[in-house]
Amino acid sequence: MYPEKPPRQFNILGNCKKYGLSTWQCPQFLFLIMGAIIIASELTFYFLGNYYIEDPKIVILAISGLTMILFVIAFTITKGFENLAESNRMKSEFISVVSHQLRAPLSNLSWTIELIMSGRLGKIEASQLEYFKILKENNGRMKDLVSNLLTVSRLQSANLILKSKIFPLEDLLNDAIKSFWPYAKASNIEIKTNIEKNLPKVSAPPDQIKMVVENLLDNAIRYTQGKGKVTITIKKTGKNIYFSIEDSGVGVPQSDQKYLFQKFFRSENAMKRQTQGSGLGLYIAKSIIEKSKGKIGFESQENVGTTFWFTLPIKNQQGKA
């Protein structure tokens, strides 16, 4: 692996980026602001002191005292923030390193299982095949989890570079539907599309948007019990393309709705029906859509269904979003 270069002490924005925090949450930037506040309060005190207190020695003493107190307070607060930010960064780095290390053995396992199941090494009995299928399925689950963890850690450390391209969203959707068709059919779910004609192209990172669409489609099928219907709509709204996916599934309880896009959160309703899942998919979807200058949201009613939607910017004449 190639270690990152440590950012310079005075490169405040670089340090903030390293922590993956916004500027207003970044310890170095907050320390700078505190410094400015200290200087401003000293100047105020100096002018007030000069005006109300006759003896300059008392003014100097009071200003020195005030400076020290403010400095200690500022230092303690920002140090606290810095420790928090550092432990957060280390946690992300740990996830990233572990995930990378897990990837190689999981790929080995996956290819080996595939080779055995292909029958290239000799015929496999039907009873054995059943157990190899279990191995394959569980290997797939681990690979998905590792892949999600890596995406989250990259999103947090701002290492995930999103490369926007101009493409028709409906093509991406049709490909996703094709790959989900067998799963939907096996789950007794009908997928319907409602795509406006002559839609303009969107400007967004296609690989990541594919991830979002597949995740929403997977959720819609996964959390629909028995026979059901999933309706996908794509239309133009102003300067954006609007995508929505409506299911007739279990819905999200009112009390869980505000947490739905949080990392590792899984709704009670979802847990009752599906124990598998990491609670990372919607967090990743939200981060990707927002980084692509779009919006994401949902409406849901328990035991009736859920509609997830997102918007993406249409490319303008210069080809930029």
Rounded least distance, CB 301 to another protein, Å: 37
Helices (H), 187-280: 206-222, 268-273
What is the C-alpha separation between 227 and 124, in angstroms, rounded? 35
Tell me the CA distances in angstroms from 196 to 200, 233, 263, one per residue in order.
10, 8, 33
Binders of another protein in range 271-300 (CB under 8 A): none
Binders of another protein in range 81-100 (CB under 8 A): 100
Closest CA to 152 of 144, 164, 141: 144
Let me know: does 74 contact 34? Beta carbons within 8 Å: yes
Interaction of residue 112 with another protein, rule CB under 8 A: yes
Interaction of residue 179 with another protein, rule CB under 8 A: no
Identify which of residues 21 and 106 has a Cβ nearer to another protein in the complex.
Answer: 106
Binders of another protein in range 204-243 (CB under 8 A): none
Site string for another protein, 16-55 (x = CB under 8 A): ----------------------------------------
Site string for another protein, 130-149 (x = CB under 8 A): -------------x--xx--
Stretch that binds another protein, among 48-56, 63-71, 114-122, 255-263 (CB under 8 A): 114-122
Let me know: does 136 contact 117? Beta carbons within 8 Å: yes
- Binder among 126, 134, 161, 186 for another protein (CB under 8 A): 161
Number of residues that bind another protein (CB under 8 A): 22
> How are beta strands 189-195 and 228-237 bridged, if at all?
parallel
Let me know: does 82 contact 12? Beta carbons within 8 Å: no
- Type and span of the H or E element at 266: none
Identify which of residues 77 and 142 has a Cβ nearer to another protein in the complex.
Answer: 142
Query: To the nearest 5 percent, what fractions of the chain are helix, strand and coil?
Result: 60, 15, 25
Rounded least distance, CB 123 to another protein, Å: 15
Interaction of residue 175 with another protein, rule CB under 8 A: no
What b/e sequence results for 212-237 when a residue is b if at least 16 CB atoms lie within 10 Å of its CB, and e otherwise?
bbbbbbbbbbbbbeeebebbbbbeee
What is the C-alpha separation between 144 and 152, in angstroms, rounded? 12
Identify which of residues 112 and 138 has a Cβ nearer to another protein in the complex.
Answer: 112
- Binder among 41, 67, 159, 233 for another protein (CB under 8 A): 159
Interaction of residue 118 with another protein, rule CB under 8 A: yes
Sites of contact with another protein (CB under 8 A): 1, 100, 103-104, 106-108, 110-112, 114-115, 118, 120-121, 143, 146-147, 154, 159, 161, 163
